[in-house]
Amino acid sequence: MLIPVMAEFGYKGAYFTFLGALAISIFIVPDKEAVLMFGAILGHYPVTKAFLERIKRFLPRLTLKLLTFNIPVLLVYSLGIYVLGLKELAEGMNDFGRWTALILLGAGNLVFLLYDYGLRNIIAFYFYVVKPKIIDKLGGNRN
């Protein structure tokens, strides 16, 4: 996870770690849609979240978080359907009714907000438990 890397080596180190993990996953993960989702949506979010948390007001911060999720989701599926010709992505949704895509996007937003909340707790756990009890005793960041 990028949280320890970001805490010990900063934002640049965390983004380079993310890019390295993405590059490796392109070659070893057989499900390219999963790699695309990791790269576009979830992989960078622990670092991006740190920037978003600097916004003091709740509504603008929440709006930007949801845009950070929704824009890549819509771009990835649009790319898959219209550029790569994966029509089965859209056809599979029509089997359950015309509102399926919106319902799935809404459910995705709820799951993303749960991910954001869980990530907040994992970050707190790292900074209040792991870092002081383990990392700092081992010498911490030696930059």
The predicted-structure confidence for 68-97, as pLDDT tens digits, reads as follows 999 999 998 888 778 877 777 667 666 676
End-to-end Cα, the chain, rounded Å? 20
Under the banding of pLDDT at 50, 70 and 90, the label for residue 143 is low
Listed in sequence order, the DSSP H helices in 85-140 are: 88-94, 100-125, 136-138
Q: How far apart are CA 30 and CA 19, in angstroms?
A: 18
pLDDT at 125: 94
pLDDT at 134: 84
The predicted-structure confidence for 18-69, as pLDDT tens digits, reads as follows 999 999 999 999 988 788 888 988 889 999 999 999 999 999 999 999 999 9
Give yes or no for a contact between 69 and 40, defined as CB atoms under 8 angstroms apart.
Answer: no
Confidence (pTM): 0.81
Q: How far apart are CA 112 and CA 120, in angstroms?
A: 12
